[in-house]
């Protein structure tokens, strides 16, 4: 059911479409303090499913959750030189507390490496304490002059993992393991095909030896960085003096990592799957997977629909009944399409007479008549199918969006509608600057066979460049 009146079409003005869908589907809005965000119940419920799924995957690697303070003494930030240079322009600073000016200003955490590594130094004594694998779910603050809901906000929510290891090699293995956790989550759960690779030095996390990334491609051809994993080497261990006694009795520096993924992924889900009718939520994340919609409440339709909804819930499908027949059918369909509910079960007196209901898929718009007796198993299967099909579609679009280029000019041109892929040696240094002048950045580097490089200095690396959020 087309609904031109509600949203600006994507093809006409993608940024306006994004603003429209975020507002009309009641996902989020600006808070009163510049750059802050209010996340409304529908988007929050999607985030809760994302959190639970990601949390399970993180715990499966052996990491434990903990919680670290929001406020960090300014002097902590200054201990790692690159780190403070990277984050200084983005800091929010508390200068007054309890009615008095503070002796030392406090920074509202932009990320927690400094405070967590400070505690690592306290907690880690011997090789027996390693590896130490911690994660926290928290809010962080990075001052944003041009905020965009979910994509760039002064405050955002994320998980940040922080780990300490006996050797550099182990830290590198952890870094890549968490990158793989992110890749699998983004594909299996968000149904987003991502390009993974190493960041160039210019795009690296402030204080990291290496940064790896998952880059999604949005429907407007721009890339979105959706999760990064950093090998911090010995940088923070030196800055915070985190040493351990090895099995051989030597004092050694630990090697640390950090890795994060945020509410920005909600923006990725919206811009990867959404269409001109609104949001399309992957079933795994959908607060409501199947909506049972009463067309008209005549001849016991409402009652039968309620029973069906109960059956679906009992079968483990997250189901809601919409029997608000006081509102027009068209209006209700429009609203649920806006919110992106994956499967709609429409049932009216005519369906009931045929002992059937109409199933509608949000992603494809496909309709089918299904006998009521077969409905629960059919819906259950459809919910699983939609997830698979959405991912296949996302892979297809990602692969189709990668264009090979043989020089900087060609790469800049191809970057209008996706990733341009070209030899890193053509880009490195001068090329990166020239691309930047066109608003194009190096998203990541891969080896020719698609595997992950150990450093940007390897021979024959391939660069993926794109315009990005």
Residues that bind its own copies (CB under 8 A): 29, 31-33, 36-41, 44-45, 48, 64-73, 76, 88-99, 105-106, 108, 115, 118-119, 134, 138-139, 141, 143-145, 154-155, 157
Q: How do 132-141 and 210-217 pair as beta strands?
A: unpaired
Q: How far is the CB of 320 from its own copies (least distance, A)?
A: 13
Nearer to its own copies, 9 or 73 (CB): 73
Q: How far is the CB of 295 from its own copies (least distance, A)?
A: 21
Structure tokens at 444: 């990541």
Nearer to its own copies, 90 or 187 (CB): 90
DSSP label at residue 229: E
CA angle at 67 for the pair 62 and 71, rounded to the nearest 5°: 145
Give the residue from 291, 272, 144, 157 showing the smallest Cα distance to 220. 272
Q: How far is the CB of 97 from its own copies (least distance, A)?
A: 5
Give SS3 for 37.
strand
Is the Cβ–Cβ distance between 194 and 287 less than 8 Å? no
Distance CA 431, CA 407 (A): 9
Nearer to its own copies, 63 or 218 (CB): 63
Q: How far is the CB of 30 from its own copies (least distance, A)?
A: 9
From the number of C-beta atoms within 10 Å of its C-beta (0-12, 13-18, 19+), residue 69 rates as: exposed
Q: How far is the CB of 19 from its own copies (least distance, A)?
A: 17
Sign for the CA dihedral angle at 294, 295, 296, 301 comes to negative
Nearer to its own copies, 179 or 269 (CB): 269
Q: How far is the CB of 41 from its own copies (least distance, A)?
A: 4
User: Any idea which residue has 């920074």 for tokens?
Assistant: 107
- Maximum Cα–Cα distance across the chain: 83
Q: How far is the CB of 162 from its own copies (least distance, A)?
A: 12
Backbone angles phi, psi at 103, to 5 degrees: -65, -45
Q: What is the CA radius of gyration of the chain?
A: 25
Helical ranges in 319-374 per DSSP H: 329-339, 349-353
Q: How far is the CB of 260 from its own copies (least distance, A)?
A: 17
Nearer to its own copies, 134 or 239 (CB): 134
Q: How far is the CB of 253 from its own copies (least distance, A)?
A: 21
Distance CA 448, CA 452 (A): 9
Distance CA 391, CA 141 (A): 32
Distance CA 451, CA 329 (A): 51
Is the Cβ–Cβ distance between 182 and 195 less than 8 Å? no
Nearer to its own copies, 57 or 447 (CB): 57
């Amino acid at each position: 059911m087309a609904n031109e009146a509600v949203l600006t079409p994507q093809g006409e003005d993608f940024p306006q479409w994004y603003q429209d869908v975020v507002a009309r589907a009641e996902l989020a809005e600006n808070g009163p303090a510049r750059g802050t965000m209010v996340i409304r119940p529908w988007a929050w419920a999607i985030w809760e499913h994302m959190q639970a799924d990601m949390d399970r995957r993180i715990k499966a690697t052996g990491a434990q959750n903990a919680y670290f303070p929001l406020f960090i003494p300014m002097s902590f930030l200054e201990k790692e030189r690159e780190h403070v240079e990277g984050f200084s322009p983005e800091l929010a600073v508390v200068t007054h507390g309890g009615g008095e000016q503070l002796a030392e200003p406090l920074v509202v955490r932009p990320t927690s490496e400094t405070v967590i590594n400070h505690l690592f130094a306290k907690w880690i004594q011997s090789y027996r304490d390693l590896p130490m694998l911690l994660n926290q779910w928290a809010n962080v603050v990075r001052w944003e002059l041009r905020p965009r809901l979910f994509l760039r906000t002064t405050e955002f929510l994320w998980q940040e993992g922080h780990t300490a290891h006996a050797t550099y090699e182990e830290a590198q293995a952890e870094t890549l393991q968490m990158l793989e956790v992110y890749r699998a989550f983004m594909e299996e759960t968000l149904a987003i095909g991502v390009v993974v690779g190493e960041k160039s030095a210019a795009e690296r996390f402030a204080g990291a030896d290496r940064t790896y990334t998952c880059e999604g491609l949005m429907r407007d051809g721009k890339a979105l960085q959706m999760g990064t994993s950093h090998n911090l080497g010995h940088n923070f261990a030196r800055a915070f003096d985190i040493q351990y006694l090895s099995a051989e009795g030597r004092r050694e520096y630990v090697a640390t990592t950090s890795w994060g993924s945020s509410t920005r992924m909600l923006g990725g889900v919206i811009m990867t799957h959404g269409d001109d009718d609104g949001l399309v939520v992957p079933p795994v994340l959908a607060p409501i997977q199947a909506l049972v919609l009463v067309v008209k409440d005549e001849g016991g339709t409402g009652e039968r629909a309620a029973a069906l909804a109960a059956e679906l819930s009992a079968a483990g499908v997250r189901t809601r009944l919409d029997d608000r027949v006081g509102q027009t059918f068209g209006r209700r369909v429009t609203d649920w399409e806006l919110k992106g509910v994956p499967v709609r079960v429409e049932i009216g007196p005519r369906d009931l007479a045929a002992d059937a209901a109409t199933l509608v898929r949000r992603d494809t718009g496909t309709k089918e008549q299904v006998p009521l007796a077969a409905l629960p198993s059919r819906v259950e299967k459809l919910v699983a199918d939609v997830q698979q099909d959405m991912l296949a579609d996302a892979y297809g679009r990602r692969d189709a969006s990668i264009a090979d280029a043989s020089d900087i000019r060609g790469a800049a041109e191809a970057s209008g509608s996706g990733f341009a892929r070209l030899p890193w040696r053509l880009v490195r240094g001068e090329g990166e600057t020239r691309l930047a002048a066109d608003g194009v950045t190096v998203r990541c580097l891969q080896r020719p066979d698609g595997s992950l490089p150990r450093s940007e200095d390897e021979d024959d690396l391939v660069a993926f460049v794109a315009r990005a959020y």
